């Protein structure tokens, strides 16, 4: 059986984790998260590639480039969650599981954060568990892609 490949996409400002609003996002850095994801992926029998961009177009191009290369995506679109039709449309091109994650509980924050442009096109959504949201998503996506296809 081939090793399953998962792409983790980090949106804008996530490169500042550990420094930016630690009372909301914690002190764990993006490098810490990426290292932990790689280690956990090995235990789950899959591999993880990570990508971070502060630019919407770069994220769209990365999503478009996943066809045939990855078995699933975990995406933290950050602020683009609430604004990006472009990222939503790119995800609609895919036929692989996608999990949307957020470090904070977006539904306990400002009203403009309550609406996700992606929620109805992803396989699932995890929010509010800090850096652990990524690891919960990795567990979930690993299970989704290891199930035999129902076709």
Q: Are 106 and 79 in contact (CB under 8 A)?
A: no
Mean pLDDT of the chain: 91
Residue 139 has, within 13 A of its CA and on its CB side, a CA count of 5
At residue 150, the pLDDT reads 47
Q: Where do the structural domains in the chain lie, given as residue ranges?
A: 4-111+123-146
At residue 149, the pLDDT reads 54
At residue 19, the pLDDT reads 86
At residue 136, the pLDDT reads 98
At residue 107, the pLDDT reads 76
At residue 105, the pLDDT reads 86
The catalytic residues are 25, 102
Which residues in the chain land under pLDDT 50?
A: 150-151
Phi, psi (deg, nearest 5) at residue 45: 80, 30
At residue 115, the pLDDT reads 83
Assign domain 4-111+123-146 to a CATH class: alpha beta
Helices in 45-117 by DSSP H: which ranges? 56-64, 85-92
């Amino acid at each position: 059986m081939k090793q399953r490949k998962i792409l983790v996409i980090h949106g804008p400002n996530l490169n500042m984790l550990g420094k930016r609003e630690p009372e909301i996002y914690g002190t764990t850095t993006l490098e810490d998260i990426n290292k932990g994801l790689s280690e956990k992926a090995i235990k789950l029998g899959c591999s993880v590639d990570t990508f971070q961009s502060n630019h919407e177009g770069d994220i769209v191009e990365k999503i478009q480039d996943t066809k045939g290369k990855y078995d699933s995506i975990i995406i933290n679109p950050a602020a683009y969650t609430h604004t990006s039709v472009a990222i939503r449309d790119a995800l609609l091109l895919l036929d692989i599981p996608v999990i949307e994650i957020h470090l904070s509980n977006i539904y306990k924050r400002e009203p403009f954060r309550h609406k996700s442009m992606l929620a109805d096109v992803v396989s699932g959504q995890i929010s509010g568990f800090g850096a652990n949201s990524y690891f919960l998503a990795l567990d979930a996506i690993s299970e989704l892609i290891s199930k035999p296809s129902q076709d």
